């Protein structure tokens, strides 16, 4: 029996992971966490026999304590206490945003295996995260579908001489606005932006998918996870989201990972590695699919991918600044305080004005994140 902690259990990834546990007799759930949806969290804990949770929002934590007899941790040390106290074999980090970095760092520092959905951890602090995992021997299992696919594809090439893998390709659905020009994106609404064609996800990543920032974050994530240079990571639009990723090899052959889009597949892969779970999901039917489409990214309509690539190449705290500005701008868009196109404007202005440091210490990253949030908020005010 492996002991499992799920952080961000009330979200899209968290709830799907909990559904998978019903059929997983090798995993024992020992702790859960959320930000403010305490009623859902307590209901999950009760359903799964969990006696210890962490709640980020103080007020929500108070309310949870008043109505539940289990242990509710809160405050700045809550996640550390939750993770260390639970003595887990595996932590699933499904927190959204740079708020997930601390949990990633704590887990890896303790040498605990990490199933990582929180891609922002690798964007904000990729060097730190990868070095920690290497130093403690903790395994880092990507949950992001493209990276899970790459992890499996690259693993299948183990034993080949270095340099055999020449290129990684990440596919992007293109989001709800695929095919629209920049002018046509001027007045799109929050509802339209949240209406993703192939994946059902949390609000923040849905907007990131509509701007293509999600794919930008994922290029940085792939660079950090697999050590591939930015020149060798390619993005292609693939509206069906059936091909998740591809590796191109030195002899001209390519290996791709295919399946109907369903996050349960990569979540289960990370939770059960090195075993493969038995999931009741439909097998791919190529005859029914008929054809698959691929097209180039429109960088004029979707500048966020280019901004992310530039930040990734600049290195240091640039990806952290990019991420923080994006989180602030996306929250403003969801609150209807800025337009869709202004998301990229805020990020670009924040990056242009930021002092980038070539340091990856936790303290440096936290400070860069804080400063970038302030700068992005000021740019938003100036736009209004
Ligand atoms: P959701 O918004 O659905 O859920 C986020 C979870 O994190 C919730 O449980 C939320 O709690 C919790 N949370 C939010 N802020 C904090 C905080 N400051 N401290 C502690 N917990 C917090 O997000 P998703 O499940 O969609 O995404 C989670 C991560 O997985 C993201 O990094 C995303 O990029 C990545 N991912 C998601 C995919 C998907 O299909 N959804 C696909 C690939 C990657 P509460 O409910 O109380 O707000
Ligand atoms: Mg993805």
The Cα–Cα gap between 80 and 349 comes to 35
Q: What is the mean pLDDT of residues 131-150?
A: 98
Which residue, 12, 21, 10, 13, is CA-closest to 48? 21
- How confident is the model at residue 257, as a pLDDT? 98
160-261+291-383: CATH class: mainly alpha
pLDDT at 232: 98
Q: Report the 3 state secondary structure along 228-257.
A: CCHHHEEEEECCCCCEEEEEEECCCCEEEE
pLDDT at 157: 86
User: Where are the domains positioned within the chain?
Assistant: 2-143, 160-261+291-383
Mean pLDDT across 174-179: 97
Buried b (16+ CB within 10 A) or exposed e, 1-13: eebbbbbbbbbbb
Query: What's the token pair of residue 142?
Result: 């990507």
What are the Cα distances from residue 303, in Å, to 229, 258, 263, 306?
21, 28, 26, 5
Region 323-340 average pLDDT: 98
**41 and 34 in contact (C-beta within 8 Å)?**
yes
Model confidence at 379, in pLDDT bands (50, 70, 90)?
very high
Ramachandran area for residue 27 (φ above 0: left; ψ -120 to 50: alpha; else beta)? beta
Q: Dump pLDDT digits (tens) for 76-123.
A: 999 999 999 999 999 999 999 999 999 999 999 999 999 999 999 999
pLDDT at 384 over 90: no
Does residue 115 contact residue 14 with C-beta atoms inside 8 Å? no
Domain at 2-143, CATH from 1.20.210.10, 3.40.50.720, 1.20.120.640, 3.30.360.10:
3.40.50.720
Ligand 1 lined by 98 (C-beta under 6 Å): no
Which ligand 1 atom sits closest to the C-alpha of 95?
7
Evaluate: CB of 78 within 6 angstroms of ligand 1. Answer: no
Cα–ligand 1 centroid distance for 161 (angstroms): 38
Is this prediction's pTM over 0.85?
Answer: yes
Tell which atom from ligand 1 comes closest to the C-alpha of 214: 34
Hey, whose CA ends up nearest to atom 20 of ligand 1?
A: 35
Q: What share of the chain is helix, strand, coil (3-state, %, to 5)?
A: 50, 15, 35
Measured CA angle at 33 (ends 78, 61), to 5 deg: 65
What is the CA(59)–ligand 2 centre distance, in A? Answer: 32
pLDDT at 323 over 90: yes
Report the residue among 5, 7, 10, 13 best suited for mutation to probe ligand 1: largest number of ligand atoms under 8 A from its CB. 13
Closest ligand to C-alpha of residue 123 is 1
Q: Residues 129-158: what's their mean pLDDT?
A: 96
- Select from 7, 9, 12, 208 the residue to mutate for testing ligand 1; criterion: most ligand atoms less than 8 Å from CB: 12
| Residue 95 token pair | 């927190």
Atom of ligand 1 nearest to the CA of 13: 25
- Structure confidence at residue 197 (pLDDT): 86
Query: What is the average pLDDT across 312-324?
Result: 98
**Most informative mutation of 58, 76, 117 for ligand 1 (most atoms within 8 A of CB):** 117
Residue with tokens 């499992």: 4
- Strand ordering across the sheet containing 243-249: 233-237, 165-172, 243-249, 254-258
Average pLDDT (118-129) is 98
Q: Where would I find the H helices in 335-361? A: 340-353
């Amino acid at each position: 029996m492996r002991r499992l902690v799920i952080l961000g259990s009330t979200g899209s990834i968290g709830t799907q992971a909990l559904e998978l546990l019903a059929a997983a007799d090798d995993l024992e759930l020992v702790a859960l966490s959320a930000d403010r949806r305490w009623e859902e969290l307590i209901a999950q804990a009760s359903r799964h026999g969990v006696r210890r949770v962490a709640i980020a929002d103080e007020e929500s934590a108070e309310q949870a304590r008043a109505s539940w007899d289990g242990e509710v941790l809160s405050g700045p040390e809550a996640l550390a206490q939750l993770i260390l106290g639970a003595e887990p074999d595996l932590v699933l980090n499904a927190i959204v945003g740079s708020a997930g970095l601390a949990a990633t760092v704590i887990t890896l520092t303790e040498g605990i295996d990490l199933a990582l959905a929180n891609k922002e951890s690798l964007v904000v602090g990729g060097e730190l995260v990868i070095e920690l995992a290497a130093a403690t021997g903790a395994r880092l299992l990507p949950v992001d579908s493209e990276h899970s696919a790459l992890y499996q594809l690259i693993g299948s090439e183990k034993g080949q001489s270095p340099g055999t893998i020449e290129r990684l390709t990440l596919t992007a659905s293109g989001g709800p606005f695929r095919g629209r020009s920049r002018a046509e994106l001027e007045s799109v609404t929050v509802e339209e932006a949240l209406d993703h064609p192939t994946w059902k996800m949390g609000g923040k990543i849905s907007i990131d998918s509509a701007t293509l920032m999600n794919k930008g974050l994922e290029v940085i994530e792939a660079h950090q996870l697999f050590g591939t240079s930015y020149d060798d990571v390619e993005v292609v639009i693939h509206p069906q989201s059936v091909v998740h990723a591809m590796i191109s090899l030195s002899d001209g052959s390519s290996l791709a990972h295919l399946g109907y889009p369903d996050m349960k597949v990569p979540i289960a892969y990370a939770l059960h590695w090195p075993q493969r779970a038995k999931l009741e999901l439909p097998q791919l039917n190529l005859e029914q699919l008929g054809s698959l489409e691929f097209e180039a990214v429109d960088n004029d309509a979707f500048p966020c991918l280019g901004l992310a690539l530039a930040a990734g190449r600049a290195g240091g705290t640039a990806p952290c600044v990019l991420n923080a500005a994006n989180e602030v701008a996306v929250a403003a868009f969801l609150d209807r305080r800025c337009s869709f196109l202004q998301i990229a404007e805020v990020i670009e202005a924040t990056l242009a004005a930021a002092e980038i440091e070539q340091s990856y210490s936790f303290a440096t990253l936290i400070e860069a994140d804080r400063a970038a949030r302030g700068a992005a908020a000021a740019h938003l005010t100036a736009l209004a």
